[in-house]
Chains A and B, each alone.
Chain A
Amino acid sequence: GAVVSQHPSRVICKSGTSVKIECRSLDFQATTMFWYRQFPKQSLMLMATSNEGSKATYEQGVEKDKFLINHASLTLSTLTVTSAHPEDSSFYICSAGSGGDGNTQYFGPGTRLTVL
């Protein structure tokens, strides 16, 4: 149980284009999902908390107009990187809370974004 998927797993795009990444909880409902960014050899950096049916909560320093988050259902959250630039190239990972006792998060496999 507690499987989280992400799509696509890898994307290469031109500078100035927008990229959408989907995160799905496959076997449980997640009222809260989280989006992280990870640079090589570094830890995960929380970008935002995605709440079903309401606006996402962004961490300090993360541009909400740059990284659009939509959590339309209990099993799907999307992250759109708008007008991507090479510095947005990174590994983006989502997670979903299990909803059980404790705040365990289960992670998706990640999306490697490369902006040319």
Chain B
Amino acid sequence: GESVGLHLPTLSVQEGDNSIINCAYSNSASDYFIWYKQESGKGPQFIIDIRSNMDKRQGQRVTVLLNKTVKHLSLQIAATQPGDSAVYFCAENTQGGSEKLVFGKGTKLTVNP
């Protein structure tokens, strides 16, 4: 069951607004990062990734920013739509090491029509 004291950060936005979801990662040696979207009752869906030799990468309506100095990752969603409502997880990995991903706690995004 759910552990006492844990809670999922939430972000509520209006349809059409831009959303910014933040993530602080833990390992300064991590050099590969992924954002996943998870809808209720489903598995995580790959959104976008970025390597540590970049500080910005853009996809369709999404942009990932990486600040290695402060170990911070963000996901920007432009013109947020109701279908974007989900939990978003960042994940980190160290290439050349284990293939394991370390996941963040997740942020629940709610888009209000």
A29-54 vs B, Cβ < 8 Å mask (1 yes, 0 no)? 00010100001111110100100000
Q: Is B67 an interface residue (CB 8 A)?
A: no
| Those of B37-55 within 8 Å (CB) of chain A | 41-46, 49, 51
- Chain B: residues with Cβ within 8 Å of the partner, total of 29
Contacts A103-B95, A106-B46 given; indicate if A42 touches B6 (C-beta within 8 A). Answer: yes
Q: Is B36 an interface residue (CB 8 A)?
A: yes
Q: Are B106 and A104 in contact, with the CB atoms below 8 A?
A: no
- Chain A: residues with Cβ within 8 Å of the partner, total of 27
Q: Could you tell me the distance in whole angstroms from the C-beta of A25 to the nearest C-beta in chain B?
A: 13
Q: Is A61 an interface residue (CB 8 A)?
A: no
Query: Total number of A-B contacts with CB less than 8 angstroms?
Result: 71
Contacts A49-B100, A102-B51, A104-B34 given; indicate if A42 touches B2 (C-beta within 8 A). Answer: yes
Contacts A32-B99, A103-B101, A109-B43 given; indicate if A43 touches B106 (C-beta within 8 A). Answer: yes
Q: In chain B, what residue has the closest Cβ to A111?
A: B43
Contacts A49-B100, A106-B46, A107-B44 given; indicate if A44 touches B3 (C-beta within 8 A). Answer: no
Q: Is A93 an interface residue (CB 8 A)?
A: yes
What are 7 pairs between A and B in contact, CB < 8 Å? A6-B43, A42-B6, A46-B100, A46-B101, A102-B49, A104-B46, A107-B46
